[in-house]
Amino acid sequence: MQSLTAIDFSYNNLSGLVPGTGQFSYFNASSFVGNPDLCGPYLGPCSSAIEGAGSTHTRGPLSASFKLLLVTGLLICSIAFAVAAIIKARSLKKASEARAWKLTAFQRLEFTCDDVLDCLKEENIIGKGGAGVVYKGVMPNGEQVAVKRLPAAMSWGSSRDHGFSAEIQTLGRIRHRHIVRLLGFCSNHETNLLVYEYMPNGSLGEVLHGKKGGHLLWHTRYKIAVEAAKGLCYLHHDCSPLILHRDVKSNNILLDSDLEAHVADFGLAKFLQDSGTSECMSAIAGSYGYIAPEYAYTLKVDEKSDVYSFGVVLLELVTGRKPVGEFGDGVDIVQWVRRMTDSSKEGVLKILDPRLPTVPPDEVMHVFYVAMLCVEEQSVGRPTMREVVQILTDLPRPATTQGDDCEAPIREAQSSSSPPPDLLSI
């Protein structure tokens, strides 16, 4: 109030220091009479007690405000901490329930879910694909297993289960010499771990197209072809209901320590499709290079689609080449073989794997003939897997005995009496 030049504070029992600056410089001592505890430039000096009291009085409101802010802050922090503790407790309870693992065994097992979980380490990974990550594990009793960790979408008891548990139970009951055994699986509300018997020699694709491909002699390749055909034949004709593999390829034919073939990953493509997983198209409807032509316009696969894919595997065994990537853009192994051989058995010598030192030409032409039947454009023209087994095992030799079912005996690929002729000398 800069216009204020006179005011009367007298006889109000005031105390403290009267400022001598601002408008107070216009007032005189008469304005402050009757207030013995006042002091200032024209009222007399202040005692130390009064100065201290004045100083305390001046800082009092600031100190109270600070205390109020401090108390308010502490209260807010306490509430926030309590809310966070409640949320954390609920999340821990949920996580604990999610980690409640259950082991479902399809035969007598000498290990637990904890033993299986110990296998899930980065250094134990032996394969990755659309159907999950595969780990190698060694159980406490020394047994070797393969653990497949399925994608998160394929979870037990979830809204996207779509019969997963029932399907796995069906697959777990399958027992066949040429099908990889599903020993059991561990599950919780988040993850499924399938436990299979371990195949030391990996997949046919890895062996055939890797550095060891040249060591797969013809009689071994023929044996693998027949054994894999028997496994697929069992799925198609001896299971009730029949099981479609949906992703037949050389990488899904596994080899044990004796290079005996075992079909793997059967049925998993259906689980991926049902669960809504779209991360890998090749895992849902077959892999590129193996997909039957009818899939392009029907978007469905049946047993004849598996037959087509198996025909591609036979061509891989004969040529030693991968299904795609070696023949130019848009050309797969089926198109390349047709162009090179004009689909005649005699033309097989033009496409034969050069790493094969010696082969029986009649057997090679016979396997090639079966392969071309399997990869017919029209599905109705393809044989069934039971017919494939019969034709494969019915080699064009007088001494062989024709088989009549999926378990027809494997013919010897090479004569024991005389070595097979070398192609270079034909």
- The CATH code of the domain that includes 122 is 3.30.200.20
Active-site residue set:
247
Q: Are residues 282 and 396 in the same domain?
A: yes
| 157 and 235 housed in the same domain | no
The four Cα atoms 26, 31, 35, 37 give a dihedral, to 10 degrees, of 10
User: Residue 52: enclosing H or E segment and its boundaries?
Assistant: helix 48-98
Cis before 293? omega within 30? no
Burial of 202 (0-12, 13-18, 19+ CB in 10 A): middle
Amino acid letter, 337: V
371 shares a domain with 353: yes
pLDDT at 187: 84
pLDDT at 179: 93
* Residues 229 and 378 occupy one common structural domain: yes
> Contact, 153 vs 132, CB < 8 A?
no
Contact 170, 136 (CB under 8 A): no
Task: Provide φ and ψ at 246, rounded to 5°.
Answer: 75, -10
Q: What is the tally of structural domains in the chain?
A: 2
Q: Which of 305, 311, 302, 363 is nearest to 338 (CA)?
A: 311
- Indicate if 190 and 220 belong to the same structural domain: no
Say if residue 176 is in the same domain as residue 279.
no
Per-residue pLDDT 10s for the chain (426 aa) are 778 878 888 889 888 888 878 788 778 778 888 888 888 877 777 775 555 444 444 444 556 777 888 888 889 999 999 999 998 887 776 666 546 788 888 888 888 888 999 999 999 999 887 667 899 999 998 999 999 888 765 554 444 454 566 667 777 888 899 999 999 888 887 788 899 999 999 999 999 998 777 788 999 999 999 999 999 999 999 987 788 888 899 999 999 999 999 998 876 655 545 444 333 444 455 688 899 998 877 777 788 999 999 999 999 999 999 999 888 888 999 999 999 998 888 889 899 999 998 899 999 999 999 999 999 999 999 999 999 999 999 987 644 444 445 544 433 333 333 333 333 332
Q: In terms of residue numbers, what domain contains 412?
A: 204-425
**Would 361 be classed as within a structural domain?**
yes
Q: What is the pTM of this model?
A: 0.67
User: Comparing C-alpha atoms, which of 414, 410, 364 is closest to residue 227?
Assistant: 410
pLDDT of residue 38: 86
* Residues 224, 150 share a domain: no
Is residue 109 situated within a structural domain?
yes
133 and 278 fall within a common domain: no
pLDDT given at position 7: 86
We report the CATH number of the domain holding residue 275 as 1.10.510.10
8-state DSSP, 409: P
d(CA 263, CA 236): 13
Beta strands across the sheet bearing 125-129: 102-105, 182-187, 192-197, 144-149, 132-138, 125-129
CA distance 287 to 180: 20
User: What are the b/e assignments for 294-317, b being 16+ CB within 10 Å?
Assistant: beeeeeebbbbbbbbbbbbbbbbb
